[in-house]
Structure 1
Amino acid sequence: MNASNINAVFYADTYHPIQAGSIDGTDTLPHDRAIYRALLCSNAGLYDPFGDPKVIGDPYCTVFVGRLSRQTDEEILRKVMSKYGRVKNLRLVRDIVTGASRGYAFVEYETEREMRRAYEDAHHSIINDSEVIVDYYRQQLMPGWIPRRLGGGLGGRKESGQLRFGGRERPFRAPLRPIPYDDLKRLGIPPPPEGRYMSRFEVPSPPRRRSSHGDKEDSPYVKRRSKDGEEPSHKRQRSPADRDDSSHKHRRFYREHSYDKDDSSHRHHRHHSEHSYQHKKRSASRDYGS
């Protein structure tokens, strides 16, 4: 990889504490003490991403909103995020002692389509004079995830001394040095995807569920039902009693109109016979010169 391709990047599909602390995803040693803490939690299984009682809602319909202003409350955030879809739940994380905002929140939408709209359009938007970042809900969707309070997470600022790479805001840079494949394999770190790097200006797509029921409900091609839950009458399946009654009516109608039908057929046959007789008579007269 040469220096001319400095804009080539890649993103993490799974989380590894050592890799997250590396600017190009190829380091094999931790860079700060927080990485040791995250590595301990990961190896010992001390963190359960599904064990947080405060987490509610569908992770595929939820976005993470970070770098919020301390003056941004739930009402302001809901009003802003409602521009991208119908907000179902909103949780602004606050300090457990003071109650002050910690600068990030989780917003759940009604459907995945609305979540993706917010994911694409709300990133780097301005809320209360603060440029926010928007990402998908990695806690339950990214394998191996370790939160920032335990030394993990993604992003961060240089002043914090806990920079983490591989996310939307700070992707991995394509390596400019040889990749130590053997060491990465020994540590369980996925190697960089050589030949499949993305541009720094491309937006990585969030994970998709195998079958999105939310998108089906939102699709215009869904079979609509009436308000009481019944199908339209022209599509409703008839019961055996309805079919028997319909057959009975059809037979009765046929019997009532069978005479007219036979009489019409008889008149048509008689007219055709008379026409044939007259035609033969004229032909015979011409043959005999009369």
Structure 2
Amino acid sequence: MPAMISYTANQRYNRAAIHAAAKKAGGPPGNATAGITVVGDDQCVFWNPFRGLYANRWIKEPDEFIYSGEGSVGPMLDKGGNRRLSACHANGTPVLVFYKMQRTGSEWLHLGSFTVVDVEAGVSVDVKKVLRDDIRFRFLRVTQDVISQPLPALPNVPPPPPPSENELWALVAARAVKTNGKRKRATRTSRDRRVSDPLLTAYVLQRAIDNGGTCESCGVAPDWKDDSGRPHFQAHHIDPDIDRVDWIGAVCGTCHDRLHHSSDRTHRADKLRKLVRERQLAAGRDVVDF
């Protein structure tokens, strides 16, 4: 058995020394250039704020943050470090987090032990400026140690503009070709939640915005906006098992509740399905075979 190596929160470590110590102790040294890697007995995340990855951001420094999955080109896949962090989320396995303190050099501050409290799928632009699926992990610190050292600020990089309906549709159509036009909603769950295709959700929300920014059920604009200044919609699957853009509506929160729980939910679902199909056909987006 490899020897256990312990780290103290609020203390700086040389990353090369971390990997060398794990190797000397008989455990896996880990990948010294990866953000997500196993070092000895520990699953670790090395967050380099100087890289300026868009999805990485603090929710509450230094206790809660969003961390982008690995993979800089093309869609992020459920493999490697992404799969290991998903397993940590499912099993409650702690993750040790280190934060780079200077742009140059190898000093990393140990922030302590965190749990992966959520795994979210999204859509973003890769380093080649190509739209792709991504994975985002939400971390919550469980150690009680005080982090007294000031952390370097994240780069003030404005978020990229949201993809257009045309860009999203191109991805939707390409995916339909790959899947032979069949797309059932995934049965894999994350903490007992049904998994949807984030690309399709992004397309549906953009469809509502491009059609006046109103709820596709009640026709009224939401009374609040998200962090990017866009009307806040929720994606409602008209048939819970079908993940296709002509079976998903962009609705306000009130209508989403009514579509699930009201006595007239069947009638409302039929009206929503009709409007969604009309919008798809009017835009030349006939997805009857998707």
What is the TM-score when the length of structure 2 is the normalising length? 0.23
What is the TM-score when the length of structure 1 is the normalising length? 0.23
Q: Which has the larger radius of gyration?
A: 1
More helix by share: 1
More strand by share: 2
